[in-house]
Structure 1
């Protein structure tokens, strides 16, 4: 059982940061004249920041700041919000600690840049919890491409078929499944009825559902 690795996504899985990302994006894009509303943020969920900026530029091109500068503004604002307001998702810290106690290879695979990963882990008190930290920002392609998960498995020294990913978004789930991994999905309440989540191996309302017995059963399925 010990060769089964658990790989956590970060935003929306470990930390309740999706509302923070949404606030930051609305603030920054509105200042550029882009009519972004909170209800529209789900369209780019799971994308890298540069891809979010490109997506909205294609819909509402602006003048002035270039796309790289806009991405940096968003990241800076998200970092501020994470450091001051970031809260763990229910059961997230406990699930990570459980994997540590079970001596499972443990990694994080996220679309966020690595400097934001460090901020989040510090906020959650999980600085030393993971064996591997991977960011799709360093990959040629972001989620739903499997690159970040394949890189993570390689760095862990575990075959993708022996990895379990924990995700919250359609793009993240597709990334993990395309990499050949099993996937536990914990979607936001408003997304739970999305039929695309039928591709998940397990759909949970919260990571609070995971205890040692549950995880052992799932790993040994």
Structure 2
């Protein structure tokens, strides 16, 4: 077994994509007459897209469009926004480069689907950076369940307790901690006073 590894989340940590998710969700759900506004999107931050759709369907059920089609529309819109407007989060690329200089195995553990992962990594020129890339879309449960982190550690060949995770969301932190990993929280500026980060 390798002694240590670093595992990164993606959305909101490597790339400033959370505003794109909010924008896409508002656009798509409003078109279905779901009264979603941007401030409500934080309720589902860190969930897989299919879980976001299920969350709002349970509260504002619509007709005529399947949940899977709604999720696909959101993902496609986010992909468009990332490809045209995406920017790396401050210090993200430099942190990855430092880990590379230290010869640490690198993993990516995200709630996003593979198609969006590819768009983000291409946008940030990180296509060949990670030794392992895992999407919670392939797991039975998404974050805050630890599955995607446990899968990533297993594929890296590193015990979870020897991994350090970088996360920006509460659900992501819970996921990493539930996998018995050390976690470095990098919350968005507007969320840094959230007392839940102190509890974790």
TM-score range, shorter chain: over 0.9
- Cα distance in 2 for residues equivalent to 1:97 and 1:79: 25
Q: Which residues of 2 match residues 1-221 of structure 1 at below 5 A?
A: 3-200=3-200
Runs of 4+ in 1 over 4 A off after TM superposition: none
- Cα distance in 1 for residues equivalent to 2:171 and 2:111: 10
Contact 1:3 1:104 in 2 (8 A): no
Please tell me the root mean square deviation across aligned C-alpha atoms, in Å: 0.9
Q: Does the residue aligned with 1:125 lie in a helix, a strand or coil? A: coil
Contact 1:3 1:105 in 2 (8 A): no
Offset at residue 4 of structure 1 (A): 1.4
- Cα distance in 2 for residues equivalent to 1:161 and 1:189: 28
Offset at residue 195 of structure 1 (A): 1.6
For normalisation by structure 2, the TM-score amounts to 0.98
For normalisation by structure 1, the TM-score amounts to 0.89
- Cα distance in 2 for residues equivalent to 1:102 and 1:119: 27
- Cα distance in 2 for residues equivalent to 1:93 and 1:118: 16
Q: Which runs of 5+ in 2 are unaligned?
A: none
Offset at residue 199 of structure 1 (A): 4.0
- Cα distance in 1 for residues equivalent to 2:19 and 2:3: 35
Q: Which runs of 5+ in 1 are unaligned?
A: 201-221
